[in-house]
Amino acid sequence: MTHTTVYAARKILTMNPRQPEATHVAVRDGRVLAVGDLERMKAWGAFDLDERFADRVLLPGFVEGHCHLKEGGMWVWPYLGWFERRGPDGRRWPGVRSMEAAVARLCEIDAEMSAAGRPADEPLIAWGFDPIYFGAERMTVEHLDRASRTRPIVVSHSNGHLMTVNSAMLRWAGITRDTDIVGVMKFADGEPNGELQEPAAMFPVQRKVGNAGLLAPMNDAGMQGFARIATMNGVTTATDLVNRLRDEDLEILERHAADASYAVRILPAFQAFHGTHGAADGARHVKALAARNSDKLRFGLVKMMLDGSIQGFSARLRWPGYFNGAPNGIWVTDPAQYEADFETYHRAGLLIHTHTNGDEASEAAVDAIGRVLERAPRPDHRHTLQHGQMIDAALFRRMAALGLSVNLFANHVWYWGDQHAEVTMGPDRAERLDGCRSALDAGVPLAIHSDAPVTPLGPLFTAWCAVNRVTPSGRVLGAAERITVSEALRAITLGAAATLKLDHEIGSVEIGKRADFSVLDDDPLAVDPMTLKDLRVRGTVLSGRVHDAPEL
């Protein structure tokens, strides 16, 4: 006879509208067998009563619909971000608040590398830097040459779309005044200034250093670090929203997913980057992989990209363009190519997530997808726009009509809201930044995300951003776009699950679904919404297996 465990909790918030609250949940074979009070559990026969959560509040396991496994793997490199950040080992990295401090930290690391006997030409890779906080002063090759003129230095920007390198790295990559690649930025005199925007410009560097960002190969420590961060933040299902899915990537994913103690379910999304492979080959590859799906590893997602990053000025904006007069951004994929490739993946039956940051890119995606759906209608496709930060009410209504979902980058309101209001898009458009209210009002299925490691993984923080819309300077950015705590909790559970076409399996505590819970100290619906981000997460349950958050 199959074993049943009943967990008693102070409260269970189920996300099932027919039964929003409960005190007990029965788990059998890794799934939810019953939800309710102790009496209801008894109807299913014998069980063990487990009271370890008796003082805790259980929610469905949080679903992060847009993050990257690299959240666990970036920490082998020094962090150069503006905001303090905590690594998977609990180490706190203070924020870097001046160009001097950035150069000083790089000097220190260069010295540490030399003292450790590491080769003088081994590249120094740092990450998390964002020039937008530094006003008019832009990091260039000259700053980085002050840290070293001999050791190649690569500073990846937090948005993942840009990097700044020193002269040793420019030489090694063969980038000169004669290099004719879009995105290789130059001084007025024609010499490269060290800044490289978007994949084509960064490629000569990536080829030499073996990737310095989201696509750098994962290792075991990084996979474990990611699972630890997920558990600490209540996340039981997470995407790796761009993965090349080569043999070596599959090996590490499958090995960890098969380990019973691995604490998070992973959905890697295939990188549909035109130029490395054709869409038809890509679609065949992903379809074949889907046959290898297991509980903790699910293939079938495809990631496409249209433009770049707003704060990196590489996103494509509609009229009147950037508030500070910067030229319009970059089509990472030409819209016509996007439409053709999208159609190929769509016709193969795959679920496509498209990165669109600027409103011109979001509109181009909606235009293209609209035409593809006319040629090749498919019910319940669940195609999703990712980020969609500048989408307005009219575009959300078009998305609803096409059956598109959105996963909005709510963390931007905190991390870049002030910069968007003052520098990139100006106050009017910043008010609708990541417009959760408009999306829901238009009937567009909504998820919200961190894009970790771009910002830290933490669905409760993401929910806090969508609910309060406050910025570091203290402004409330677009009060009309705020959503309620319940709506935000839905967006980080059932909403995100729906964008992954997994809402029949996860996202609520409901009979038949996976026994995935996040374990909290308090009821998020009962606390002051301004403290939502401070709620303590004690761990998770994934398919019935308990994972305690490490004490750091």
Binding residues (CB under 5 A) for Zn ion: these are: 241, 451
Closest CA to 365 of 352, 351, 379: 352
Q: How far is the CB of 388 from Zn ion (least distance, A)?
A: 13
Comparing CB distances to Zn ion, the nearer of 241 and 390 is 241
Q: How far is the CB of 68 from Zn ion (least distance, A)?
A: 6
CA 186 to CA 200: how far, in whole Å? Answer: 15
Q: How far is the CB of 429 from Zn ion (least distance, A)?
A: 22
Comparing CB distances to Zn ion, the nearer of 124 and 230 is 230
Comparing CB distances to Zn ion, the nearer of 63 and 109 is 63
Q: How far is the CB of 56 from Zn ion (least distance, A)?
A: 31
Q: How far is the CB of 214 from Zn ion (least distance, A)?
A: 7
Q: How far is the CB of 105 from Zn ion (least distance, A)?
A: 25
- Which three-class secondary structure state does DSSP give residue 397? helix
Q: What is the DSSP string of 412-439?
A: HHHHTHHHIIIIISHHHHHTTTT-HHHH
Comparing CB distances to Zn ion, the nearer of 71 and 516 is 71
SS (H, E, C) 438-462: HHHHHCCCEEECCCCCCCCCCHHHH
Q: How far is the CB of 309 from Zn ion (least distance, A)?
A: 10
- Which three-class secondary structure state does DSSP give residue 382? coil
Comparing CB distances to Zn ion, the nearer of 240 and 503 is 240
Closest CA to 159 of 387, 469, 392: 387
On whether the CB atoms of residues 202 and 49 are closer than 8 A, the answer is no
**Residue of this chain nearest to Zn ion (CB atom):** 451
The CA-based angle 477-482-484, given to 5 degrees, is 150
- Which three-class secondary structure state does DSSP give residue 204? helix
SS (H, E, C) 476-489: ECCHHHCCCHHHHH
On whether the CB atoms of residues 116 and 164 are closer than 8 A, the answer is no
Comparing CB distances to Zn ion, the nearer of 23 and 411 is 411
CA 521 to CA 541: how far, in whole Å? Answer: 15
What are the residues whose beta carbons fall under 8 Å from the beta carbon of 534, sequence distance 6 or more? none
Q: Which residue has the tokens 């992060």?
A: 64
Comparing CB distances to Zn ion, the nearer of 193 and 411 is 411
Comparing CB distances to Zn ion, the nearer of 143 and 420 is 420
Comparing CB distances to Zn ion, the nearer of 66 and 514 is 66
Comparing CB distances to Zn ion, the nearer of 147 and 457 is 457
Q: How far is the CB of 419 from Zn ion (least distance, A)?
A: 19
Comparing CB distances to Zn ion, the nearer of 64 and 451 is 451
The CA-based angle 99-214-292, given to 5 degrees, is 170
Q: Which residues of 161-181 are buried (b: 16+ CB within 10 A; e: fewer)?
A: bbbbbbbbbbebbebeeeeee
Q: How far is the CB of 306 from Zn ion (least distance, A)?
A: 13
Q: How far is the CB of 361 from Zn ion (least distance, A)?
A: 14
Closest CA to 544 of 4, 16, 36: 4
Phi-psi region of 336 (alpha: psi -120 to 50; beta: other; left: phi over 0): alpha
Q: Which residues of 351-365 are buried (b: 16+ CB within 10 A; e: fewer)?
A: bbbbbbbbbbbbbbb
Q: How far is the CB of 451 from Zn ion (least distance, A)?
A: 4
Q: How far is the CB of 241 from Zn ion (least distance, A)?
A: 5
Q: What is the DSSP string of 271-306?
A: E--BTTB-HHHHHHHHHHHHTT-BTTB---EEEEE-
Comparing CB distances to Zn ion, the nearer of 130 and 451 is 451
